Amino acid sequence: MTNDFIYTTYIKSTPEKVWQALTNPEFTRQYWGHDNISDWEKGSEWKHSTVDGKDIRIAGKILESTPPKRLVITWASPANKADESQVAFDISTAENMVRLDVVHSKLSAEMARGVSGGWPRVLSSLKSFLETGKALDTWAGHDRKCA
């Protein structure tokens, strides 16, 4: 697939903390700005919603869940469920750091445009959040259509 996006970042942290940061809304709201909600079991649903719970921006299913190593989810806007893509998070250790690979695949051209600016922001902010306890101003200057 040529429409895949792959993002990699190295974080001074542990795989368990990175897993928590991706799956616990208390954390995602701090560096991502929204809640990631699910029980993160294979076959379950997940949603990416505003903190007040009123607006679900992205939703999908859990395809694979192996904490704290690998999480694969489907990704679609509730307004256009047919436009479904897939996100795989791979967490591995590299010396005293954690390597996080995010592969966003099966992307339509429209979704590719929407997420291409978003992931680098989210991952930079996640790194800052885990390393310093402070997230970045993740969405400053961004119109934030897709996430």
Partner 1 sequence: MVAYYHAMVTNDDQVFKALADASRRKLLDRLRRKGGLSLAEMCEKHDMSRQAVTKHLALLEAANLVVTKKQGREKLHYLNPVPIHEIYMRWIGKFEQGRVAALHNLKQALQENDDDQ
Nearest to 104 by CA among 94, 96, 112: 112
Position 28: which residue type?
T
Site for partner 1 in 50-89 (CB under 8 A): none
Q: Does 101 bind partner 1 (CB under 8 A)?
A: yes
What is the rounded distance in angstroms from the CA atom of residue 86 to the CA atom of residue 9?
Answer: 19
What is the rounded distance in angstroms from the CA atom of residue 105 to the CA atom of residue 127?
Answer: 22
Q: Does 10 bind partner 1 (CB under 8 A)?
A: yes
Q: Does 94 bind partner 1 (CB under 8 A)?
A: yes
Site for partner 1 in 112-141 (CB under 8 A): 119-121, 123-124, 127-128, 136-137, 140-141
User: Which tokens is 130 given?
Assistant: 């885990």
Residues within the interface to partner 1 (CB under 8 A): 1-10, 94-95, 97, 99, 101, 103, 119-121, 123-124, 127-128, 136-137, 140-141
